Every structure is written in structure tokens, then in C-alpha cells.
Structure 1
Amino acid sequence: MTTSPDSVVREFIAEHRAAFLDDLSDWLRIRSVSADPTLAAEVRRSAEWLTGALRATGFPVAEVWETPGGGLPAVFAEWPSGDPAAPTVLVYGHHDVQPAARADGWATDPFEPTVVDGRLYARGAADDKGQVFFHTLGVRAHLAATGRSAPAVNLKLLVEGEEESGSPHFGALIRERAERLAADVVIISDTGMWSERTPTVCTGMRGLVDCQIDLFGPSQDIHSGSFGGAVPNPATEAARLVAALHTEDRRVAIPGFYDGVVELTARERELFAELPFDERQWLSVAKSRATLGEAGFSTLERTWARPTAEVNGIWGGYTGPGGKTIVPAEAHLKLSFRLVAGQEVAKIREAVAGWVADRLPEGIGHEIVFPGATRPCLTPLDHPALQSLVRAMGQAFGEEIRFTREGGSGPAADLQDVLDAPVLFLGISVPSDGWHSIDEKVELDLLAKGVETAAYLWADLADHWGAPGHPLDQA
């Protein structure tokens, strides 16, 4: 009787599952909290541990990379296919974790992995060590099923050490190492699925531009009885800016803001609508009593695929007890803008700056500061690399794979821009995993599905786009 590749993969995973979890638990015990300077040595120890584990997996190249500007270390690994026509795949994840302590309310020690009812509890179990580490068993299962001594693709890994601290040095790192990181496609394994029962693939993330606007009026606070109503008030002008930020139908009113926006297709809207979305439950998580947003779009469409403008903070003048009848000297605003595919960071900054300047009266000075920004990224549903991922995931889960997007922002766009490669998202985490919260966990059966997906994916990519004349970058 012929043994199918699927059964070989599943038998291999079952045979090596216990050892895999033991190794993952060893890694999870390392307190690689990038936000805590006193734990910088632990972050480095985490990088060194992973480097050793990747070498033990079979990667002929596994290195700790120092980051520009004295940041915390990343890990790079590479395993060439040996096939001249093989596509090159770069897998991204991170090995740093959020702070955690038993005193925060954890049921167990966050850095002593504990298995309860098929769930592995530990800081980093889902975000992101578990999702990085499933690739080690996945590539070994791939080799077992195909009989190869090297992967069917040129496989690279980049595992960052500062993602939980905002990736302050990541852009500089990938620009500096762009030649080593060159790839036909990027796989992000730092994401999740809709739920345990609804496996999904994320197809994009929104970008982000934020700013602080400082408004200046009189050179000091002045008496509102003597001068109020006769001189410009910066607090009033801050309120007027906020009031003018949106139209009546909740669209962003800044001229040029929607230029270039890639609109949702009818098929994408249908696919979003098919997801089992419970708006009441969503509102309970959002701690809100009602939904509100751009007219003509559903809640999921608003949070995943529409650009937005939010007032993050507004302050100025007297805020103490009682009254103080003044015209304040200054007022301040913090705004953030989520961007979608087709919007450019530089153009949005220019549009916002111009809008602010045009709306302020004479006598109000202002400064506007834009910190770092993140570009949006989106892979079309019909992209052949995405279809490879969907097939591999469907093979692992045995059911139809649906599609989501991510409303937040991350380093995916940096990788897409610098490497000029499409970005795919392979994650098996679910909302109940508690990222950044107490009792973070990963579902062990879903973790095994991640291993299985990776085992199928490399062969599918090579089979469909490894032949001459069919490179991924021409898909």
C-alpha cells in the first residue's frame, strides 16, 4: 500500500510532537522581554538559543544579527534548496515578548510553561515563539514527506528581537541586510485566525501615520474678561480642528485623503460578510455601547479595509478644580490615521499638514510633528503565492479557508517595500489566546496544524512557481 504524503506528514508530527513541545517550552522559559532594559541579556540568550535550535533542525546557516543603533539582536537562518529554479521564501517572526508576572493575575508562572486541557500556557506561547517555532518541525516534516535532503524552496528566517517594543531598529536592519534577505515572497508568522472553527488567512494590514499638533496663541494665559472674544483662542481652534476632521457621513474631510485608495471588491465584501461575525460580542470586547463609522460600510470593512482618522488626545488651558477664566496660551492634539493599500505616507503627511495650516486663523502659531510611520500592505486574493498558502492550509485543516485583514499595523510593509516581495500571513493563533494579556496560551492542536501547513507549503510553492518562466514576482 502506498503511503500518502499527508499521512507521512501527520505521522511525523505525531512522532515528534512531545520533543517539539519540550524544546518550545525551554525557549519559553527565557524571559526575553525587550521593553525591560534589565532583561536585555535574556533577549540575547533567546536569540542564541534559537540559533542553536535552527542549526539542530538542519539549517546550515543560523546567525545572531546585531541591529543598527545598538538595538536588541535578531536571528537569521538560511537553508538553500539546491534547485536553481526554486523560489526563495523569507519567514518573519519575533522572539521578544511582552512583560509578564504572576502578580499580574496569571494562574501559573508566565515563564514556566504549563499544559492544561490541550493548551500550552506561557508568555510567548502564541505571540510569537510558538508560531515561529512550528516552522522547525514543519520543514522537517516536509523533508520526511518529500524525501528531500533540503527544502523545495530556498528557505530563510528572520526573527526580530524588538517587535514588542515597536521595532525601532527593524527598518534599518532590513535595509542594511537587504541582499541577504532577498526573497520572492515573505511569510509573516505573527498573526492569527478568526477562530478555532473558522480557519482564515489574513491578506493585509493597514498602515499608520500619527502626529502631534501644538497650537500657540497669546504668549501667556490671559484674562478672558479683558481679552476673550477679541483674540484667537488656541483651545477653541483645537476644538474646531477636531470638529472639522470628519464629514456628516463620517468620512475624513482632509482634501486628498482618499486619493489612491484601493477599494474593496464585491468578492471581498462577500467574503467578509460570510464570516460568523457577532456584533454584540464584538462591542463587548470593544467596551462600547454602539458601532459608528464611515457610512456605507460594515464594521469589519471599517476596521480592516477603510482608512480612518482618530483623535487620540486633546488638551490645553486650565483643567484643575473649579474655574479659571482665561484664554490659554496653548493647546494640543494627537491624531492618528490608519491607511489602506494605495495611500502613501508622505502624501498623507503633506495633506494633514496643509489642512491644519489652511484652517488656522492669523494669530495662532502651530507646530506639527510626525513620528515614525508604517505603510499599508495588501496581497490580492488571486495572487498565486496566496493561493499556495490557502491550498496548504486547507490541506492541513481539511476545510475551506476564509479571508480576513488586520486593522492594526506592523513590520510587514517594511519587508514588502525593502524586499519588493508580496507578503503572506501564516498564523494559527486565535482571539482567546490572550496576546499581551494574562494567561497567554496556544491551542496545541492548532499549533500542530501550523506545523502541517508549513510542511505542505514549501512543496506547493515550488511545484507551482518553481519552474523557469513562472517566478513568483511575475505572478
Structure 2
Amino acid sequence: MSETPDSAVRTYIGEHRTAFLDDLAEWLRIPSVSAQPAHTADVRRSADWLTAKLTETGFPTSEVWETPGAPAVFAEWPCDDPRAPTILIYGHHDVQPAAREDGWDTDPFEPVIRGNRLHARGAADDKGQVFFHTLGVRAHLAATGRNAPAVHLKLLVEGEEESGSPHFRALVERHADRLAADAVIVSDTGMWSEDTPTVCTGMRGLAECEIELFGPDQDIHSGSFGGAVPNPATAAARLVAALHDDHARVAVPGFYDGVSELTERERELFAELPFDEQRWLRTAKSHATCGEAGHTTLERIWARPTAEVNGIGGGHQGPGSKTIVPASALVKLSFRLVAGQDPDHIEKAVRDWAAGQLPEGIRYEITFGAATRPCLTPLDHPALQSVVRAMSRAFEQPVRYTREGGSGPAADLQEVLGAPVLFLGISVPSDGWHAPNEKIELDLLMKGVETTAYLWGDLAANWGEAH
């Protein structure tokens, strides 16, 4: 009796599991810490290692791409069908700093398997999740008898994600022609839990600003002048107090312009997740939930825009009293943005709002940093549905939907390439990204391999029908 396609994939993965893990461990031993100049050579060594391994996997093109900082890796494996969709996989090969004295039980760059877990810096974030694509594509070829993937497959593996991706957008813009794709798959994300496989459908964007307020030309005596000249610290407090209304909605006029509202179906899907609010509060080291009225906690952190006060200060901060009207004060704000919001519009709205809040006699300067745009893939997008079907086959259960409250470089790919961004990750919250004893669950890692083995054929089969 011949094997089914799924059993053929699983047989291939089982036969090559040990060699795959040996290769991954070799890569994890390279301390590719992009944030530390002492590891500059290691980040390059990591890029060179991956380039060679992708060539060994079968990619006809595998290159190191230079940036003013750390190098990225690009690989491409064309399909023999010119009508097949082009899929770009994104991940990163740099890792967070790690040292034994941070609380690691073992050397963070000497991978250790304990039980069914692989412990090492980068095991989950993000080398493990990048590397599962190598075995996945080989399993896809073995099970289908193909010599090339069923889609035009490209990889872009960044070397500076853990340092804020300072050169990433310029890299994408410079190589936009070679990176052109019908869809982008980000494998730098995770699932809800080990027994609840999920796929993320979007990430919020981010805009940040710093507002400096100036009153007197120097600190002055509060007895001689207080109550008769404007106080920049008081102005800062009033500015912060005016940021939200009584229902915790952002009170900046025009802030909600263009916001893509949650559909009833999306709200139902969020509600299906096994969310324990009290457990979440413990993780948040907080004692009560709050936020925009009319929305659940998950809706607030995934699908609603926010304004947060990241810092506020001015005047005397040391011990004892100092009776002054301070010369200056400072407010730091950040805004998480959702689909439909434009960072440029938000910047203008905040500038106009601040100008209307500050009294005469208070001079101010507002400085905005580089913004990140939000990204969202509709639930009915054919590429998203292919990811869901492939993941369901691998996990042999229904796949649910999440979003990500944070922000990342995925939006640059969406904006520059004009392609939808999808998220395929198998890491779970307990994996400890950026923490001591980071790990990856080996069974889940193999499910990631299996998912990609199914995904390319599903995309090829269903893309043409949808387009």
C-alpha cells in the first residue's frame, strides 16, 4: 500500500530529523549578537553559514547582502511553472545578547536538549523558525516528486532585527525588484499555546514622539514668581491628562480617522481563544485591566489603536524640596496604530492637538522618530487560507486566529513590495524570547517543518483559482 502525501512528508521528516537538529545546533553555536560590536564577526559568520546551508538545501541562488550594518541573506528557488505564485519568507539570523551570568542554566550558545526541548539563544527567536523551512521544502519535494518547489520561493533573512532593523527598509527598497512577491510569510512569530495552534493576521504600527516644554529661561523661585508665570511641568501634566477622554479613547482629533474596525466575525474568533484574564494580568505584572470602553482585553491589545505615556518629567527630581518653577519639562508618547491609520496623519494630528493644549508662554518642540506602519491580512485572503489549511493538516486540529499587539519590520515589506504579509510561527509564550534559558519545543518545531511541506503545494493549487 503506497503512502499518502501526508504520511510521506512525515516519514521524510522523521528520517532527517537528527541531521536537521545537528545542523540547527551548529548554527545556534554562532553567537550572532547584532547589538554588540564584539560579535560583528560572528553575525557575518552566521550569514555565511546560512548561505552555504541554503545552497546545500538546493536553493540555486543563495547570497549575502551587505548593509551599512550587519549582513542579510537572500535565497531564491524558482518554480518550473512561470504561473506559480512567488512567496517571500522573512526571518532574522541575529540574536539577543546572552551570558551564563544572566541566569542561564547552561552556556546560551551551546545548545542542549533536555526532554523534548532545545535550549539555546536563538532556538525560537529566530534561527529555529527560519531553519524549519530548509527541511520543510525538502520534505515537500520528496513527497511530491518535484525537482523544484510548487511556488517561486524566496528568503530574506535579516541580520539586524534585534537591533531595531535600522537598515532594513533601505535594503528592501534597494532590492525591491529581486524581492518582488505575491505574498510575504513572516516566520518570526508564535502561537497561542502548545495545544492551541494559531495564525497571526496582523501587527500594529508605531509612532513615537518626544515633547519638550520650556517656560522660564531658568529655574526660578516659586515664592517670588509661582502662580504668575506658566509652569512647564504643570503644562506637561495637563497635556498628558488631555490625552484620553473619560472612556479611555484617545482624545486627539482625527486620531481614529481611517481605522479598520473589527468585524463581528473577528470579534467572535478572538472570543473563541482560551483567554485567562487573571493569568494574563499576572504575566503583565499588573493588578487590573483598563482601556477603551466597549472592547475586550484582547481587542484592545491586538486591534485597537492606543496612546501611551512612556515618560514624563521636569523640575527637581532629587531628595528633599526645591521650591522652583522649573525651566523645562518633557513628555514621551507612543502610539500603536492599526490598519487604516497613516503615521503621517497621526503626526500632524498630534502636533495640532499639542499646539492647542499648551498655554501662552510655554514654548515647545515635538520630535517624531521613524514610524512603523500597521499590517493586516483579511481573513478570506487565499494565501492566509493556505497557511491555515497547511497548519491544520500538520497539527490535525482546527487553527484559530490572533493578531500581534507589537510592531516590526514586516510592515516595510508590505509597503515597499505591495504584498500581503502572513505570519507562520510555532513558538509558544513559554519559549522565553530574549530571556534566560530560551528554548524551542521540538515537537512544535517539527510541526513547523510539516506545515511548510504542505504549504507550497496548497498555495500553488489555490492561488490560480483566486487570481
Is this a same-fold pair by TM over 0.5? yes
Q: What SS class does the counterpart of residue 71 from structure 2 fall into?
A: strand
Letter of the structure 2 residue corresponding to residue 273 of structure 1: A
Q: Structure 2, unaligned stretches of length 5 or more?
A: none
What residue is the counterpart of 2:52 in the other structure? 52
Q: Summarize the alignment of residues 279-294 of structure 1 with structure 2, pairs less than 5 Å apart.
A: 279-294=277-292
What residue is the counterpart of 2:93 in the other structure? 95
What residue is the counterpart of 1:31 in the other structure? 31
Letter of the structure 2 residue corresponding to residue 3 of structure 1: E
Alignment partners' CA distance in 2, 1:385 and 1:161: 27
What residue is the counterpart of 1:401 in the other structure? 399
What residue is the counterpart of 1:82 in the other structure? 80
Query: Aligned-pair distance for 1:177?
Result: 0.5
Alignment partners' CA distance in 1, 2:280 and 2:318: 36
Letter of the structure 1 residue corresponding to residue 86 of structure 2: T
Give TM-score scaled by structure 2 length.
0.99
Picking from 269, 274, 277, the partner of 1:276 is 274
Picking from 201, 208, 211, the partner of 1:210 is 208
What residue is the counterpart of 2:312 in the other structure? 314
What residue is the counterpart of 1:65 in the other structure? 65
Q: Is 1:222 the equivalent of 2:215?
A: no
Q: What SS class does the counterpart of residue 111 from structure 1 fall into?
A: coil
Query: Aligned-pair distance for 1:466?
Result: 3.8
Q: Summarize the alignment of residues 367-406 of structure 1 with structure 2, pairs less than 5 Å apart.
A: 367-406=365-404
What residue is the counterpart of 2:462 in the other structure? 464
Q: Summarize the alignment of residues 361-372 of structure 1 with structure 2, pairs less than 5 Å apart.
A: 361-372=359-370
Q: Summarize the alignment of residues 210-359 of structure 1 with structure 2, pairs less than 5 Å apart.
A: 210-359=208-357
Alignment partners' CA distance in 2, 1:311 and 1:62: 44
Query: Aligned-pair distance for 1:314?
Result: 0.3
Alignment partners' CA distance in 1, 2:227 and 2:66: 58
Residue deviations 1:138-163 (CA, integer Å, cap 9, x gap): 00000011110000000000000000
Alignment partners' CA distance in 2, 1:29 and 1:383: 39
What residue is the counterpart of 1:5 in the other structure? 5
Query: Aligned-pair distance for 1:82?
Result: 1.4
What residue is the counterpart of 2:41 in the other structure? 41
Letter of the structure 2 residue corresponding to residue 210 of structure 1: E
Q: What SS class does the counterpart of residue 259 from structure 1 fall into?
A: coil
Alignment partners' CA distance in 1, 2:183 and 2:271: 28
Picking from 111, 119, 122, the partner of 2:120 is 122
Letter of the structure 2 residue corresponding to residue 377 of structure 1: C
What residue is the counterpart of 2:178 in the other structure? 180
Q: What SS class does the counterpart of residue 235 from structure 2 fall into?
A: helix
Query: Aligned-pair distance for 1:3?
Result: 1.6
Alignment partners' CA distance in 2, 1:145 and 1:113: 30
What residue is the counterpart of 1:189 in the other structure? 187
Alignment partners' CA distance in 2, 1:122 and 1:370: 37
Q: What RMSD, in angstroms, separates the aligned Cα atoms of the two structures?
A: 0.6
Alignment partners' CA distance in 1, 2:462 and 2:281: 42
- % of aligned pairs identical? 75
Q: Is 1:413 the equivalent of 2:411?
A: yes
Q: What SS class does the counterpart of residue 71 from structure 1 fall into?
A: coil
Picking from 183, 198, 201, the partner of 1:200 is 198
Residue deviations 1:329-375 (CA, integer Å, cap 9, x gap): 00000000000000000000000011011111111100010111100
Residue deviations 1:208-246 (CA, integer Å, cap 9, x gap): 000000000010001111111111110000000000000
Picking from 423, 428, 434, the partner of 1:430 is 428
Alignment partners' CA distance in 1, 2:245 and 2:356: 17
Alignment partners' CA distance in 1, 2:231 and 2:314: 10
Residue deviations 1:280-323 (CA, integer Å, cap 9, x gap): 11000100010010011000000000000000000110111111
